């Protein structure tokens, strides 16, 4: 089993965990902002991109163990973890079950499986038209109308690095039965939950509920942004991300 990752920059490590089926391209906007003052680590989940794709289904425990393996290979005992959607659920599981998580920053994440509606995000990597159409569920209508060049670039990256149907299905299976509400009190790391109010895949109220259930949870809404709010509002999100990280750097 081989996992692909890239690392860049110095300082405290920040590891990014992608949403179901999406490659490491997802964090390009944040990687550029973080690398330098921090070490940015971006990896392809098993089933995606340049990582191996063993037959599924996968479990959250397995994906959290993969995250732990990446950090161990980088020589890091702990890291700040940033996740979206399925990646947010993996980050929560890792925070509960391992000692690797310093802080959490979660986008478009909920505490229970029935709040995730990620199916609309999938498209076969070899179907450019389907890839483009599926982005309408990932972003706000305003972003899709005003940023066609960005969407064209994302389609190219998705065609090159996203999971096929088998990999997607194996990853999404990890959310089956997921319900963290009873154990959120065990996640005591500082956590910021960021949610676009126009998220069509994970309702914004589910993000609010997640933040309320975390002992050190803070909720931040991005008015009018979709599921991939950190791309739509990259400048504002990057400032917020860096501020959050700087507030929690170990002495």
Average pLDDT over residues 162-175: 97
Q: Which two tokens stand for residue 102?
A: 């310093």
Which residues have CB under 8 Å from 152's CB, separation 6+?
none
Residues 111 and 206: beta-carbon distance below 8 Å = yes
Average pLDDT over residues 228-246: 96
What is the pLDDT at residue 249? 82
pLDDT in tens, 196-232: 999 999 999 999 999 999 999 999 999 999 999 999 9
Query: H-helix or E-strand containing 215?
Result: none
Q: What mean pLDDT value characterizes the chain?
A: 96
State the residue for tokens 């996640």. Answer: 187
pLDDT in tens, 22-73: 999 999 999 999 998 999 999 999 999 999 999 999 999 999 999 999 999 9
Average pLDDT over residues 111-137: 96
Domains and CATH numbers, the chain: 5-247 (3.40.50.1820)
Average pLDDT over residues 79-105: 97
What is the pLDDT at residue 76? 96
What is the pLDDT at residue 209? 98
Residues 174 and 58: beta-carbon distance below 8 Å = yes
Average pLDDT over residues 226-251: 92
Confidence class for position 250, pLDDT limits 50, 70, 90:
low
Residues 213 and 125: beta-carbon distance below 8 Å = no
What is the pLDDT at residue 251? 42
State the residue for tokens 């089926």. Answer: 21
């Amino acid at each position: 089993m081989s996992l692909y990752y890239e690392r860049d920059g110095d300082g405290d490590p920040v590891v990014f965990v992608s949403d179901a089926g999406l490659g490491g391209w997802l964090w390009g906007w944040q990687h550029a902002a973080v690398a330098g003052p921090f070490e940015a680590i971006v990896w392809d989940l098993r089933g995606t991109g340049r990582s191996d794709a063993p037959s599924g289904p996968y479990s959250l425990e397995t994906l959290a163990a993969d995250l732990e393996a990446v950090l161990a290979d980088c020589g890091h005992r702990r890291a700040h973890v940033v996740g979206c959607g399925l990646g947010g659920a993996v980050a929560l599981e890792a925070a509960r079950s391992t000692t690797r998580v310093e802080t959490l920053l979660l986008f478009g994440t909920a505490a229970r499986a029935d709040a995730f509606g990620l199916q609309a995000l999938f498209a076969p990597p070899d179907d450019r038209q389907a890839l483009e159409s599926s982005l309408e569920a990932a972003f706000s209508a305003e972003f899709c109308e005003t940023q066609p060049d960005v969407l064209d670039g994302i389609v190219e990256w998705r065609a090159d690095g996203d999971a096929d149907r088998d990999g997607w299905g194996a990853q999404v299976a990890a959310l089956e039965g997921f319900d963290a509400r009873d154990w959120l009190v065990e996640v005591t790391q500082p956590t910021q939950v960021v949610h676009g109010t126009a998220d069509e895949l994970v309702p914004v109220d589910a993000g609010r509920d997640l933040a309320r259930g975390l002992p050190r949870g803070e909720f931040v809404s991005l008015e009018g942004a979709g599921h991939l709010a950190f791309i739509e509002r990259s400048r504002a999100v990057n400032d917020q991300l860096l501020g959050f990280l700087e507030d929690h750097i170990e002495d």
